Structure 1
Amino acid sequence: MNVTLRQLRAFLAVHQEGSFTKAADTLHITQSALSSIIKELESNLELGLFDRSTRKLETSEAGRNILPAVIRMLDEMETLTNEVKGLKELDYGKVRIAVAQQLASVELPRIIALYNTMYPQVEVSMIDCGVEKVQDIVSSGEADIGIGPERKLQVALSKRLIFSQPFHLATMPTHPIATGGSIRWKDIAPLELITLRGSFTDLLVENLVRDSADYIISPKHQVNFMSTALSMVKNGLGVTLCLPYAFESVKQSGLVMVPICDPIIYRNFYLYSCKNREKLPAVQKFIDIYLKHMQFDKKWV
């Protein structure tokens, strides 16, 4: 059975108007076209839908029996059409973002505020989490997209490079290296270095020659969070590695950042999403706005 919505709308119009002529006018088609559509529907259903006589036209018993189902189907299709229209025009929807905690506190609130101004009906929620959790949250379906630094990519996900930043050293403004303009990796060796445990440091070691990496593998102090490392630097316990997106935290701690060169090593940041999960228009629009208005690439790359 190959019944079309056009045929169902034609059947309902004829039933409501009680006339092919009036129904054709309502549908803005010719009477002969309408008659052909009804004949196709009756042929598909193998039912006569109207009792015709020279005096009047009436819906047949079979037609009256299927009428409630026809009305329900057309109502459901109208609901579906409105739903699709609302999603496309961002009249409503949801955007869920998993973001590495420190990133979540700097750029993203500004982008969300801008998006909310443009599309106030769309609900945007942010899951700030540890760096290592970003991909897990996207993969599980708790978030539509994730934003975080480079990590081994899970099979179900795809990634898109969004910005890169070079490593810096955070130090007290009174430290001799604070006025040097930049510092070489090998010149960090004599300093009391504070590093982060985990992938932040492990991935960095892979980019350095062995003599420059030894003091990073075995630093003076190792901690779990950047906020802890900055507090220790503030209290004169050493210097720490950081990326420019932490600028506000560094500044609030009364510290300065010194670029590290020879070589300049960049850390890549990606937008993560599921390969086989179609993005809703609201999510895609958020991505477009984020890429257009983020300022990391303008400041530091």
Structure 2
Amino acid sequence: MLDSTDINMVQVISEVGSISKAAEMLNMSQPTLSKRLARLESSLGLSLFHRYNGGMLPLHAANFIMENGIQVQSKLNSIHRHLKMLSNLEEGTLNIGVGPIIEQIYFPKVLLDFTEETSNVRITLTTDSGERLLQLIQEGSIDVGIGPFRKSDIPEDLISRSVQSANIILVCRSGHPVLDDIKGNGVVSLLDLSKYPNIGPSTPDSYKEHLPEEFKKFRPLITCENYMSSKSIVSCSDYITGGPEILFEKEIRNGSLVKIPTNFTMQWSSFCIVRPESINIPSVKKFLDIFSSYLTSNL
């Protein structure tokens, strides 16, 4: 049966092109390595290398082993890390992936609370799109994913919890000329909105299908995943931006940004997702407990 040491052996022989050089790198004798390779080829029922006077060249089977071996090694590393995390809450790493909106609403408050209780756990925070976060959680590259997921997009083998939902709105600075375009029905038309530059994150694929046809034509002149930067630019220019209403509550209250009245309606939703095998890891459980306290307190 093929194991990780076999994959490493094939990788090294392919890189150096000879049994003698590979044996040196693997800290074993040449006869021992030759026997190991012969046993592997016999068990697989095919040759892995083309032998010639100048050395050895990997055949299709060896290339297949190396290409897939990277994923195998990555999975083994993930398993090793997972088992270490199961041991205690006092050390190790915790990899968290969040969407840009979640990052602004809940972080760094959650992280600061977590580090106060687990001072030796090293945290890696990744900010990315919902599609990418789903991929990372399934790969085992992150332990917890919190982002703009729709329930229908979350695989059934993942544990999920609803985090927040809100209406998506458009905003501009106070005194923006778009506010002069409000019609008799009390809204600004999409045609009038298209006159002004806009800034914002790329639209997740799961949301694009629900956009009105007229709105699908609007693409950000500046694509920016950082809402702090977007709001800063909007507050001092004729740019407009959009996002969940909760994201702009503070600025709307203090008057630096104004909600643009439109007949456009759409809901933003977010979920926290975890793999079932990770839910009882002490550091993951502690993080979820702290994060849940912010959900119940509504910040």
Q: TM-score range by the shorter chain?
A: 0.5 to 0.7
User: Cα distance, 1:234 vs. partner?
Assistant: 4.8
Structure 2: gaps of 5 or more residues: 1-83
User: Cα distance, 1:92 vs. partner?
Assistant: 3.5
Q: Deviations over 1:203-225 (max 9, x none)?
A: 555446xxxx2331112755432
> What are the equivalent positions in structure 2 for 1:233-252 lying under 5 Å apart?
233-234=234-235, 236-244=237-245, 246-247=247-248
Query: Partners in 1 of 2:233 and 2:85 — Cα distance?
Result: 53
- Give SS of 2:192's match: coil
> Which letter does structure 1 place at the counterpart of 2:268?
R
User: Cα distance, 1:163 vs. partner?
Assistant: 1.2
Q: Deviations over 1:41-65 (max 9, x none)?
A: xxxxxxxxxxxxxxxxxxxxxxxxx
Number of the residue aligned with 1:111: 110
Number of the residue aligned with 1:173: 174
Q: 1:184 to 1:109 in 2, by over 3 A?
A: farther
Number of the residue aligned with 1:293: 294
Q: 1:236 to 1:268 in 2, by over 3 A?
A: same
Q: 1:257 to 1:92 in 2, by over 3 A?
A: farther
Query: Partners in 1 of 2:121 and 2:90 — Cα distance?
Result: 7
Query: Partners in 2 of 1:91 and 1:220 — Cα distance?
Result: 46
- TM-score (norm: length of structure 2): 0.54
Number of the residue aligned with 2:11: none
Query: Partners in 2 of 1:127 and 1:231 — Cα distance?
Result: 23
Query: Partners in 2 of 1:108 and 1:184 — Cα distance?
Result: 36
> Which letter does structure 2 place at the counterpart of 1:147?
I
Q: 1:105 to 1:188 in 2, by over 3 A?
A: same
2:192 paired with 1:190: yes
Q: 1:245 to 1:139 in 2, by over 3 A?
A: farther
User: Cα distance, 1:129 vs. partner?
Assistant: 2.7
User: Cα distance, 1:134 vs. partner?
Assistant: 1.0
- Give SS of 2:162's match: strand
> What are the equivalent positions in structure 2 for 1:97-108 lying under 5 Å apart?
97-108=96-107
Query: Partners in 2 of 1:221 and 1:110 — Cα distance?
Result: 30
- Give SS of 1:167's match: strand
User: Cα distance, 1:94 vs. partner?
Assistant: 3.4
User: Cα distance, 1:263 vs. partner?
Assistant: 6.9
User: Cα distance, 1:101 vs. partner?
Assistant: 3.5
Q: Deviations over 1:147-200 (max 9, x none)?
A: 1001522465332211112212120111267699xx977744422363757544
> Which letter does structure 1 place at the counterpart of 2:298?
K
- Give SS of 2:138's match: helix
Give % identity.
18
Number of the residue aligned with 1:67: none
User: How many residue pairs were aligned?
Assistant: 205
Number of the residue aligned with 2:126: 127
Query: Partners in 1 of 2:232 and 2:214 — Cα distance?
Result: 21
Query: Partners in 2 of 1:189 and 1:84 — Cα distance?
Result: 54
Structure 1: gaps of 5 or more residues: 1-82
- For structure 1, which segment, 97-106 or 143-152, has the greater mean C-alpha deviation from structure 2 after superposition? 97-106
